[in-house]
Amino acid sequence: MQTVFLKNNNAENLIVFFCGWGMDIEPFKNKFDSLKNSDICLCFDYQDVFLNTDVFKKYNNKTIIAWSLGVYIASLFADTINPERMIAINGTLFPIDDEKGIAKNIFFSTLDNISEENIARFQRRMCGSKSSFKDYIDIKPKRSIESLKSELKFISELYENYSSAFITKRKWDLAVIGSKDLIFTPENQKKGWSENSQKTIIVDESHYFPAIPLLDLNLYE
């Protein structure tokens, strides 16, 4: 796992943002500019799950925001980080699940057929519209096909071996479900969060949308 502090100004507050699969800092590096009183740590590229949580201990107020497959990864570290708030966006604790996550055949078909062309197709579905995809192209991650395949394979093996034993038993404070999500379908997200979140809301968004990192802070205090 890679971690980058987008802001590291010794603030009292910390946001730990767990990205989805295939990400780097490019889509998110300017998304937190409006936050003046929080440091920002971005987590991505889950080809391993080493995370030095000691660097988070100095913060008085910590928030986990996790998106897509990052929701499952974040759940492995929630008890160690011990945040005041946990917000999940368009993901569940069950990343490979026919009823509560991404259907198994779709997940493994994606893994088995990764190519430049298929990644572009995935990103179009992720963005949901031609205009959103066009904007995303300018900030898309700079990742190799080999690294994307390695990451997705690692996540599948991790979930197979640690599907529930190591995830937090604490309920998430908020689960945000995009009504237009074509990756984690809204129906599966609803089932996935039926017993695992304090509050669930539906937003009129696709799987990826520009306001993801700040959505809870701006609208759902």
Band of pLDDT at residue 34, cut at 50, 70 and 90: confident
Q: Which pLDDT band, with edges at 50, 70 and 90, does 220 fall under?
A: very low
Identify the pLDDT of residue 163.
66
Instruction: Name the least confident of 21-25, 112-116, 153-157, 216-220.
Output: 216-220
pLDDT in tens, 156-212: 999 998 766 667 788 999 999 999 999 999 999 999 999 999 999 999 999 999 888
The counts of H helices and E strands in the chain are 7, 7
Rounded to whole angstroms, the Cα distance separating 66 from 75 reads 9
pLDDT at 214 over 80: no
What average pLDDT does the segment 98-106 reach? Answer: 97
**Alpha-carbon distances, residue 66 vs 5, 114, 121 (angstroms):** 16, 24, 23
User: Tokens 């197979």 map to which residue?
Assistant: 160
Number of Cβ within 10 Å of residue 119's Cβ equals 18
Q: Give residue-wise pLDDT tens across range 36-54.
A: 889 999 999 999 999 999 9
Supply 136's token pair: 């995303």
pLDDT band per the 50, 70, 90 thresholds, residue 31? confident
Contact yes or no for 70/18 (Cβ under 8 A): yes
pLDDT at residue 165, as a whole number:
64
Q: How far apart are CA 7 and CA 150, in angstroms?
A: 28
Report angle CA 178, 83, 215 to the nearest 5 degrees: 30
The residues that bridge with 62 in the sheet, in sequence order, are: 14
**Residue 56 and residue 37 in contact, taking contact as beta carbons nearer than 8 Å:** no
Distance from C-alpha of 162 to C-alpha of 138, rounded to nearest angstrom: 36
pLDDT digits (tens, 9 = 90+) for 64-94: 999 999 999 999 999 999 999 999 999 999 9
| Of 35 and 75, the one with more pLDDT | 75
